[in-house]
A and B are shown apart, each in its own frame.
Chain A
Amino acid sequence: METSKISLVSKIFLFIISCLFLGSLFVPMWQIDLDAPQYPEGLVLKLYANKIGGDVEIINGLNHYIGMATLHTENFIEFKILPYIIGAFSLISLGLIFLNNRKFVLAFFATFVLFVILAGVDFYRWNYEYGHNLDPNAAIKVPGMAYQPPLIGYKQLLNFGAYSVPDIGGWMLIIAGTLLFYIVFKGFNLFKRKQNI
């Protein structure tokens, strides 16, 4: 069907989107910055698609005071499947250029949005888990205190200020999502305009 085709600009965008997905696999997706008076240089947790990076060892060392479980990449199934999901997204974006059908683009956009929501929920769940599941024998116990980092934004956790924000990979996904949205949105408009002409 003629009407369901996508424009050349959108195809170029899809190519860029594919590259963004692929590229995001090699850089950190998310970062949690921790600031405390004793750490003027800051501590940072870097979440990649496949691993936890940054000052994990130091943070694990500090977490034992409050009885928080230590972080280890191998304890998260997410780091095993995420690279495949994002890799698949990259391939799909590329495939959409050849499929040349805006409905498929719309479906992919919907899938991506769903993925982002699920990822957010999963991230929140882990943050909650780590922040609340504390060793009852911990050295420091503050009544009513949980150490759940913010999903996004800033939160004070005892002596640490925690900033949870996207890192380069995250921004790449955000740009990819925005471009997808643009394709879908403009796809409709362009099509309509074309019909009018």
Chain B
Amino acid sequence: MKNKFVQAILVIAFGSALITSCKPKSSGDAVSGDAAEKAYVAPGKYDEFYNFVSGGFSGQLSVYGLPSGRLFRVIPVFSVDPEKGWGYSEETKPMLNTSHGFVPWDDLHHTEMSQTNGEVDGRWVFGNANNTPRIARIDLKTFKTAEIIELPNSGGNHSSPFITENTEYVVAGTRFSVPADYSNGDVPINTYKENYKGHISFVSVDKTSGEMDLAFQILTPGVNFDLSHAGKGKSHGWFFFSCYNTEQANTLLEVNASQRDKDFIMAVNWKKAEEYIKAGKGKKQKVKYAHNTWNEHTHTAKSEMKDEVLVLDASELKDICYMIPCPKSPHGCDVDPTGEFIVGSGKLAALIPVFSFDKLQSAIKNKTFEGDYGGIPVVKYEAALHGEVQKPGLGPLHTEFDGKGNAYTTFFVSSEVVKWDIKTLKVLDRVPTYYSVGHLCIPGGDSKKPFGKYLIAYNKITKDRYLPTGPELAQSAQIFDISGDKMKLILDFPTIGEPHYAQAAPADLIRNNGQLKFYKLDDNKHPFATKGEKEAKVVREGNKVHVYMTSIRSHFAPDNIEGVFLGDEVYFHVTNLEQDWDVPHGFAIKGANNGELLIMPGETTTLKWIPDRVGTYPFYCTDFCSALHQEMQGYIRVSPKGSNVPLQFSLGTNLPATK
């Protein structure tokens, strides 16, 4: 078996040499004369598309314009972000709560936009947390993370958060199979084959509110689930997951999980699973996971701990899951716009297998199986196969579609994007990328209706592309014009974090979707809201001091506070009284151990501050809000515990001095 591994390496090395020899001498050669024109969006003009790009280890989601590549915004999702006070303000802290407590970071790999009838609808973007398994929903009315749900029985949440064609479900397949949370996990690691299990989570999404709920999980043999995509059109009701480590190795996976010629694509009939759930075939299992929701009216998150999940056993219920053999260590698992073709990308394979949904159905009907895997029927490879793309490149990873019958696959090892015909499986065009491309995105490229004008490749390496920045360089995205027969590189630009997957939608679909400009003060139901300067006050409750503060250009009310003692916990509840688009205020105080606040117009946000010494502390606005922004400041006096300074506050008038 070792022999095969060596062979694979040789193939890679030889193939790389081949590809290298026909690569343009300078990367600049790949750009044609009119490229700049095609990527140029004049100052003051809008881009055609929004591009939502995952931030990998940054835990954030970035928003770019296409085709300009301009960065508009970085949305904190799983990582605390002092720029926006995310995870620092009292209201946002519950969003990062998990069954392990406050987890202030995660590894966001994939983004997925909500769909209606298989088309991008511009309402929400979902994102996965790979580290402490979670799924987030980002609301595109506010460009803010509105919900985060944790996933039990999972270790690594990689094949996530892919969705069904009406956003019925967002799925999440565990990357690491692990002993289930409801079993004893204190077992020898080398008992992987007996004790480790996979769980696929189906998270339902409410049609109107978007609220997520962990509907059920499917128990599978212990393998690694890598990526997935939902069926659409004729294959609606099915989900496809790529699996690797079907060898069930638990050590040195780079060798031990690369042994078999074929791993699997697991096809899941989720409509059937729903029937079994209705028929009461699900087992309730004790688990523990957090469900965090953001309330738009109270501007406050709530974290709820849940303790039960419904689990269906795929080895008992034989017709939920089927394994399709797929060469070799499949990574990407992509379904074409018609829903008929499923592209499996074996990252160590030298070809791309394309499966047919119709053929899969007849294979299942005729029981054309070659055995079973952990109790799950394995369909015969040829029985499900539409055909193979021959010699496409090296290290195929991901495929997207242009809606005109073409597929575009990225090749990590040979650093290129290859265009091929889905029906004839002929290679039509190839372009180099700089370098080591992972995912790619065509606006709407994994939906029923791709917009198909641009293709963006997300690269892991950028050596020699930009000015160097020490040992670590920027990751990058590259935009190709795919409107003609040949792909044309028109722009590359650096990205935040490591970009994995991305989604894009026409600009108007999102900006005309009821976007919020400010929070109406009248609708502010925050329990500590202060709706006018006259209501501003400071209230002591034991050793807690609540400051009901307002901010408006260009002052805080109150701006002089006295009578706070060492040992007090001070809560600044700041309400931004502005009712005007794009006039946030900030709030920061000297010595704060957590962060600052960034308060949107009409919003209330709370900073907890524990003074550590006696003295007078300045606070000020951190967001340049007006001509008198620098004057937007105040003082709070902290006296020794037990001193007799009365609690008082003022704005504009000096109170009689107290000692």
Contacts and interface: CB of A to CB of B under 8 A. Distances in A.
A129 B402 CA distance: 64
Interface of B: 552-553, 578-581, 626-628
A95 interface: no
B580 A58 contact: yes
A61 B627 contact: no
Contacts of B581: 41
B628 A65 contact: yes
A139 interface: yes
Interface in A45-80: 55, 57-58, 61-62, 65
Given A61-B552, A61-B553, A139 B627 contact: yes
A44 to B, nearest CB: 13
A139 B628 contact: yes
Interface centre among A55, A58, A61, A140 (most CB of B within 10 A): A61
A61 B578 contact: yes
Contacts, number: 17
Nearest to A55: B580
Interface of A: 41, 55, 57-58, 61-62, 65, 139-140
A41 B583 CA distance: 14
B579 A57 contact: yes
Contacts of A140: 627
Given A41-B581, A62-B553, A140-B627, 4 more contacts: A55-B580, A61-B580, A65-B626, A65-B627
Contacts of B578: 61
Contacts of B579: 57-58
A61 B581 CA distance: 13
A64 to B, nearest CB: 8
A140 B631 CA distance: 13
A159 B523 CA distance: 32
Contacts of B627: 65, 139-140
9 contacts: A57-B579, A57-B580, A58-B579, A58-B580, A61-B552, A61-B578, A62-B553, A139-B628, A140-B627
A89 to B, nearest CB: 36
A140 B626 CA distance: 12
A62 B552 CA distance: 10
B180 to A, nearest CB: 55
A160 to B, nearest CB: 13
A55 B583 CA distance: 15
B150 to A, nearest CB: 41
A55 B579 CA distance: 9
Contacts of A61: 552-553, 578, 580
A187 to B, nearest CB: 52
Q: Which 8 A-B pairs have the closest CB atoms?
A: A58-B580, A57-B579, A139-B628, A61-B553, A65-B627, A61-B552, A58-B579, A61-B580
Contacts of A57: 579-580
A57 B521 CA distance: 12
A41 B518 CA distance: 15
Nearest to A64: B553
A62 B580 CA distance: 11
Contacts of A65: 626-628
Most-contacted residue by chain A among B579, B580, B627 (CB, 10 A): B580
